[in-house]
Amino acid sequence: MNVSTNDLRNGMALDLPEGLFTVVEFQHVKPGKGGAFVRTKLKNVRTGAVLDRTYRSDEKLEQAIIDKREMQYLYRESAHYVFMDNTSYDQMNVDEPTLGVATNYLREGDSVVLQIYNEQVVGVDLPASVELTVAETEPGVQGDRVSGARKPATLETGLVVQVPLFVNPGDKIKVDTRSGDYLTRV
């Protein structure tokens, strides 16, 4: 589906020769001399790389319609993660590189929104934070109350985060999925 550069909106997906991109920001520029143009900042859906691009006003681009489906993560099968569509109950295998860092936050039974374009998963929408159990960490030493001191903790998904000294194995903690930082003990 073609769309004019005059109709660009933040979050719109575009199928460019370099890959699938979303519009992060755009600005219409009308100089005193010459034709108007549109300055854009685009983000690659797969790699997260940001691209600055300038287009002529009213230039046509290919708009990509990304289907978002809520799916439940069932289990892992070698290099694939098996998801089930919450509406149709169809199962889908997604390979690990496609999911990227989302694998650090997925537990069996969790629901996520998969972004699908041309029958391929192109991204994952995670909640802003997830609750995970600490699998292992060194025990906090009694009397060690240095303000802001941190220690590494391995979570049930294999992700390692820096946590305060009072966090122990078996504790549930909340982790920010955008930065991978510890937020609070649950």
- CATH placement of domain 67-125: 2.40.50.140
Instruction: Report which of residues 50 and 139 the model is more confident about.
Output: 50
In angstroms, rounded to a whole number, what is the distance separating the alpha carbons of residues 4 and 58?
5
**Span 15-20, average pLDDT:** 90
CATH class for the domain made up of 2-62? mainly beta
**Span 13-30, average pLDDT:** 91
**Span 133-139, average pLDDT:** 89
Whether residue 161 is predicted with pLDDT greater than 90 in this model: the reply is: yes
Q: What are the two backbone dihedrals, phi and then psi, of residue 99, each rounded to the nearest 5 degrees?
A: -80, -25
CATH fold for domain 129-185: OB fold (Dihydrolipoamide Acetyltransferase, E2P) (2.40.50)
- 60: tokens are 């046509």
The rounded radius of gyration (Å) of the Cα atoms in the chain is 21
Whether residue 144 is predicted with pLDDT greater than 90 in this model: the reply is: no
Which of 76, 78, 65, 137 shows the shortest CA–CA distance to 109? Answer: 76
Q: What is the pLDDT of residue 125?
A: 86
The pTM of this model reads 0.74
Q: What is the pLDDT of residue 98?
A: 85
Give CA separation, 64 vs 1, 3, 90, 137, 157, in Å.
7, 10, 24, 45, 33
Q: What is the pLDDT of residue 105?
A: 92
**Span 18-38, average pLDDT:** 91
In angstroms, rounded to a whole number, what is the distance separating the alpha carbons of residues 77 and 102?
16
Side chain identity at 88, as an amino acid letter? Answer: S
- Mean confidence (pLDDT) of the chain: 89
What are the boundaries of each domain within the chain?
2-62, 67-125, 129-185
**Span 121-129, average pLDDT:** 87
**Span 122-133, average pLDDT:** 89
Q: What is the pLDDT of residue 40?
A: 94
Contact 125, 112 (CB under 8 A): yes
Using the 8-state DSSP alphabet, how is residue 63 labeled?
Answer: B
Q: What is the pLDDT of residue 21?
A: 92
Q: Do domains 2-62 and 129-185 have the same CATH topology?
A: no
Give per-residue pLDDT as tens, 59-106: 999 999 889 999 999 999 988 999 999 889 999 999 888 888 889 999
